[in-house]
Structure 1
Amino acid sequence: MRTVGVEEELLVVDPGGRPVPLAPEALAVAARRGEGETVEEHDRAEQAGIRPAGDGRSGPAAHLVPELKEQQIELGTRVCRELGEVAGELRHWRSRADAAATSVGARVAALATSPVPVRPVATRGERYQLMLDTFGLTAVEPLTCGCHVHVSVGDDEEGVAVLDRVRGWLPVLTALSANSPFWSGEDSGYASFRSQVWARWPSAGPTGRFGTPAAYHRVVADLLASGTVLDDGMVYFDARLSATWPTVEVRVADVALRVEDAVLLAGLVRGLVETAARDWRAGRPAPDVRTELLRVAAWRAGRSGVSADLVDPRSGRPAPAAEVVAALLDHVRPALEDSGDRELVEHGVAEVLRRGTGADLQRRAFAETGDLAAVVRAAVAATHGR
């Protein structure tokens, strides 16, 4: 069975719902408890090209680490074989991140953007400062939180075959995970405004088909040689080969408000990777989907989530979100059955379609209270299963 690991970025907020730059202090507490890295330790590791050690299969060992802004903490699960393990890991590390934040007078919330206006504060460190100097407002202005799923692959040949075959389905994952309707104190009109902000980075977004590992690595080398992408960690493709572990990393999702939705995402990504690998081994060619159409599909997914039409990857035409999500389930169902994930994933999809995404829940909280700070407080509760 393919292993899976999840990385999440969380907002650090004060009791009034405002993101606060207390992550360095919280991470210092976590480091003393053996649960994470301080900003200084992380910066030294980044400069040396060192990543947290894993078991070589599906990503890093569990940890709490800094992100680009001091109002963020990133967590990483251990390598997991069962989705139940993923759920337990996420609950544990959300709880540990919250405990560290609570010790310095804050909480953590799984929000992909801040509902209340905020002035982001950059995390100290050479690499982060270089990013700010190089990319200006693209790096200075955003405060966004995503969720990245790592799934193990046998080698780069299988990994590239997977990348070439999952491209069309990734916008559906964006729609299901949408959790960022508010920006600068206003409703953005998008279910995932994080996905719009993230698209500003020069290396972000969908990719064309690569065909071979040599072609993939040549593209990455050319991006680095351009002098625009600073290092391989800034190759922000929607899905990429991990530069550190033998995994495919899918990066299109907002951080999930509920643990259950993050587990659903992990199950769908693992199902997509396994389905793509089977198609490759069977000699079925990768779908010939234009990158331009993928950009349109990604925009549509970020705009409406699952509340309106999505672009159906089979036809390139609009279709009701529930119909497109059902097509995704049909596509990965054999893989879900073989991994034992079918019941959990089908239930998770039904729940999202019934109650809505994190974006829908945030908007309902605002409609009930008229108070964006109350939305953040409700998100803190939902982050920890309440």
Structure 2
Amino acid sequence: MTAGHTLGVEEEFLLLDPGSGHTVGLAPKVLAQSPVGLPEGVALHAELRDTQVEAATGICAGEQDLRAHLLAARTWLAERARSADAFLVASGTPPFSAPSIVDDRSERFARIDSVYAGMVADYEACGCHIHVGVTDPELAVAVVNRLRPWLPTLLALSVNSPLHDGRDTGFGSWRMVQQSRFPGSGVPPWFADRAGYDAEVARLVDCGVLVDERMSFWLARPSPTLPTIEFRVADTATTIDEAVLFALLTRALVRTTVLDVERGAPAARPGEQIAAAAVWSAARYGLDGDGVDMWRARRIPAAGLLRDLVDRLRPALEEAGDLPSVLRLLSLVRARGTGAQRQRRAARDGTHAVIRMLARETHTTPRPGVGEPATGYSADDDGGDR
């Protein structure tokens, strides 16, 4: 199968008490009933904390399949959550949190709690993980090497966790701040080949800082369990539209980068500190302020970096037939704001208004309304000029 054609998405959700807005440990109850009527390949799982649940799509060939899988899983989980007197919400961190008491843990989750101790005691971070099919292990490493400079831009677009413990953190993605505390996080290092990648992960496990080979937090990596490249950069997307947008952009990035590898195009190798600065800036400002151009190690508007990314991916998006959808969905983000911007707007009416907004958007698909453009995307800034 040609690299970069298939898609899969894993979405992590929070369970919130409708009255208090605090997270509630109802995942065992929500997942107790075996799901029926879901598209083939869709799976529902427990997560690290019992205040969270996860939905994974099957293998999807395009936007229509992906939307059907996402909608079916979200609808099923939202209905079961309501039956358990909870809201299902998609937010990178909970606006409110409460101690998570876990009586029955999988062996792996118990080991994670033991190794990371207080770092995970209140860790309820939720991401939107995108898998793009790449069956050749060597090609997967080469592609990840070359797409690294674009990972902060994908984060800036996806920021959806500005609130934590009832306060505005000042960051668009507080989830990324929490995630950065773990070993094996941030932009991945450059690896010469798959053997080098596997050896480095094994060393981290041997050093005792990773529970196992599946535990790395790098923002993109060859999947340890599937023939895919796995992107772990995005906050979980409140709306299906946003999840689809991230997935289509990510697939186009892989397809574009595969062509770069095949023709031997030069690859940027930014320093670790520049990469860390770019991730920090994306988590802090989202699309609201400056990002870091990792090619030139300088600040430019984050919206300009996003414009550059779309321009770079345009041929791959056109080839896949995804360009009209991506332009429309980007226009919606520009009109409505990122998840973080929308959470902050709702918070003007109190944190509980945020909870209601998140619950509503998580299992409905907004369409262009009055004043919201339906097509086209432009960034009215003086962004990148590569």
- TM-score of the two chains, using structure 1 as the length reference: 0.90
Could you tell me which residue of structure 2 aligns to residue 77 of structure 1?
A: 57
- Match runs of 1:141-160 below 5 Å: 141-160=122-141
Could you tell me which residue of structure 2 aligns to residue 337 of structure 1?
A: 318
C-alpha displacement of 1:33: 4.4
Residue by residue over 1:13-32, the C-alpha shift from the partner in whole angstroms, topping out at 9 and shown as x without a partner, is 12222211000111012x26
> Compared with structure 1, are the counterparts of its residues 4 and 32 closer, same or farther at alpha carbon in structure 2 (3 Å cutoff)?
closer
- Match runs of 1:150-189 below 5 Å: 150-189=131-170
- Match runs of 1:344-383 below 5 Å: 344-367=325-348, 369=349, 371-383=350-362
Structure-2 separation of matches of 1:91 and 1:241 = 27
Structure-2 separation of matches of 1:131 and 1:382 = 32
Residue by residue over 1:156-194, the C-alpha shift from the partner in whole angstroms, topping out at 9 and shown as x without a partner, is 111011100110000111110100000111000001100
Amino acid at match of 1:9: E
Structure-2 separation of matches of 1:233 and 1:124 = 18
Given that 1:9 and 1:110 are in contact with CA atoms closer than 8 Å, whether structure 2 keeps it comes out as yes
Greater helix content: 1
Structure 1 SS opposite 2:217 = coil
C-alpha displacement of 1:348: 1.7
C-alpha displacement of 1:35: 6.6
Could you tell me which residue of structure 2 aligns to residue 14 of structure 1?
A: 17
Structure-1 separation of matches of 2:292 and 2:328 = 23
Structure-2 separation of matches of 1:375 and 1:72 = 18
Of 242, 251, 255, the match for 2:223 = 242
Given that 1:71 and 1:121 are in contact with CA atoms closer than 8 Å, whether structure 2 keeps it comes out as no
Residue by residue over 1:212-238, the C-alpha shift from the partner in whole angstroms, topping out at 9 and shown as x without a partner, is 111111111211221221111202211
Q: Is 313-322 or 203-212 further displaced after alignment?
A: 313-322
Could you tell me which residue of structure 2 aligns to residue 5 of structure 1?
A: 8
Given that 1:116 and 1:373 are in contact with CA atoms closer than 8 Å, whether structure 2 keeps it comes out as no
- Match runs of 1:225-240 below 5 Å: 225-240=206-221
Structure-1 separation of matches of 2:267 and 2:101 = 43
Amino acid at match of 2:77: A
C-alpha displacement of 1:111: 1.1
Could you tell me which residue of structure 1 aligns to residue 96 of structure 2?
A: 116
Backbone CA RMSD of aligned residues: 1.7
Given that 1:12 and 1:107 are in contact with CA atoms closer than 8 Å, whether structure 2 keeps it comes out as yes
Residue by residue over 1:249-283, the C-alpha shift from the partner in whole angstroms, topping out at 9 and shown as x without a partner, is 00011001111111110011101111111000001
Given that 1:20 and 1:71 are in contact with CA atoms closer than 8 Å, whether structure 2 keeps it comes out as yes
Structure-1 separation of matches of 2:47 and 2:38 = 16
- Match runs of 1:42-61 below 5 Å: 61=41
Structure-2 separation of matches of 1:192 and 1:93 = 25
Could you tell me which residue of structure 1 aligns to residue 77 of structure 2?
A: 97
Amino acid at match of 1:242: S
Could you tell me which residue of structure 2 aligns to residue 288 of structure 1?
A: 269
Structure-1 separation of matches of 2:315 and 2:158 = 23
Structure-1 separation of matches of 2:27 and 2:358 = 18
> Which blocks of at least 5 consecutive residues in structure 1 are unaligned?
37-53, 55-60
> Which blocks of at least 5 consecutive residues in structure 2 are unaligned?
367-386
